[in-house]
Structure 1
Amino acid sequence: MTAPADLPTEFRTPRLLLRAPRPEDATAQVRAIAESHAELRRWMAWAQEVQTLEQATENLTRAQEAYRTGENLRLMVWSADGRELIGSSGYHALDWRVPKAEIGYWIATPHTGQGYAQEVTEFLTDYGLNTLGFRRLEIHCDASNERSARIPRALGYTQDALLKNAEVSVADPTQLRDTLIFSRVQ
């Protein structure tokens, strides 16, 4: 199986617009990451430095192409009116032969605690299993990131593993971190 040729580039949830990346989203991405830098850098390797406009444009250009080819289906999470970037999510680590994917998510700090990550993940879980035909969806998170781990638990994912000392901590490279792996299968 390969990525669907007619994969939509926009989706709607009750409160959000999910849209494939575009280079013109760079200013909004830089702003959202800068607003969230203190929180994101604790968990995300890509957020160790504040992103420049040039870096964001390059990042989004690559992400747009990866979406087009079905290599990585990253989605920008916007307010329903498409004016404010709330965060990012999507299907990553895709293997269309199985088919399976990993759902990742981050929400800009001013918008956390409002259920957006769960809303997006619930949509992506349903769409992935029932429309795209994924046989397995995974969510990986740092075992100490309880806010992130609550989402798969709330959505009926099974915790498949706790990988001890699986990664180097992005916040402190002298420390190791444990990783939780959750899945939903069909």
Structure 2
Amino acid sequence: MTRFPEQIACPRCLLVAPAIDLSQALQQALNQSYALHARFMDWPRPERSLVDVEQGLRAATDAFHSQEGEKRYYLVSPRREQVLGCVGVELGADPLHYLLGYWASANHTRQGYMSEALRQLLPLLSHYPVRLTTSSANLASQRLALRSGFRQIAVVPNDRHDPQLGWHDTLVYEITRYQQAQGVPLRPNA
């Protein structure tokens, strides 16, 4: 698996490995973002305690430094006082690929931070194709995937349920090693 650096600089933010000093900022970001993410993902909870967040960061730190665990990066402001979002990468199988997941803090969506993060992170993942999944109801995530050079490769029908949205599909996207090496398209204006 790729060796992941502890920090990756982006034009307006940083991607940093999990660290306990992010606890309060992460708690705030998660709690403010519940309503946004609960419609599309199964992990959000209405209220995260500081103890819960610290436990999660300890587990994420252990996984980041292990050979096989998820490599989770937090998008933070330059002085690390705000968590803007998160990107996680893990190795999948059959065939070998990276599985990418991401979320943006509700206060920092549609500002280009995630595009910047993916532009810096994807070149590190050139060993295998990279896949991500998103809800068919999450148009912002679909646009980000396409702007970042991913192409839709599959649809899993009626795979997700939300009380407000009802049943909806999971969309699977992929970017290949060749596309990453060639810089396709990872547009600067994404």
| TM-score bucket (shorter structure) | 0.7 to 0.9
Q: Structure 1 residue 43 and structure 2 residue 36: aligned?
A: no
Q: 1:7-27 CA distances to partner (integer Å, 9 max, x unpaired)?
A: 311111111111111123221
Of 21, 24, 42 in structure 1, the residue corresponding to residue 21 of structure 2 is 24
Q: Distance in 2 between matches of 1:122 and 1:174?
A: 31
Provide the secondary structure at the position in 1 that maps to 2:46. Answer: coil
Q: CA deviation at 1:57?
A: 0.7
Q: Distance in 1 between matches of 2:154 and 2:163?
A: 23
How is 1:36-75 mapped onto 2 (pairs within 5 angstroms)?
36-70=33-67, 71-75=69-73
- Kindly report structure 1 stretches of 4+ aligned residues shifted beyond 3 Å: 95-99
Q: Distance in 1 between matches of 2:94 and 2:11?
A: 32
- Asked if 2 retains the 8 angstrom alpha-carbon contact of 1:75 and 1:90, the reply is yes
- 2:108 corresponds in structure 1 to 111
- 1:146 corresponds in structure 2 to 139
In structure 2, the CA distance between the partners of 1:36 and 1:97, relative to structure 1 (3 Å rule), is: same
Q: Structure 1 residue 77 and structure 2 residue 68: aligned?
A: no
Q: Which runs of 5 or more residues in structure 1 are unaligned?
A: none
Q: Distance in 1 between matches of 2:9 and 2:31?
A: 26
- CA-atom RMSD in angstroms: 2.0
Q: CA deviation at 1:97?
A: 9.1
- 2:99 corresponds in structure 1 to 102
- 1:176 corresponds in structure 2 to 167
Q: CA deviation at 1:3?
A: 4.8
Q: Which runs of 5 or more residues in structure 2 are unaligned?
A: 178-190
- Asked if 2 retains the 8 angstrom alpha-carbon contact of 1:103 and 1:121, the reply is no
In structure 2, the CA distance between the partners of 1:95 and 1:163, relative to structure 1 (3 Å rule), is: closer
Range with greater deviation from structure 2 (117-126 or 63-72): 117-126
Give the count of matched residue pairs: 176
Q: TM-score w.r.t. structure 1 length?
A: 0.86
Q: TM-score w.r.t. structure 2 length?
A: 0.84
Structure 1 vs Structure 2: percent identity of aligned residues? Answer: 24
In structure 2, the CA distance between the partners of 1:85 and 1:105, relative to structure 1 (3 Å rule), is: same
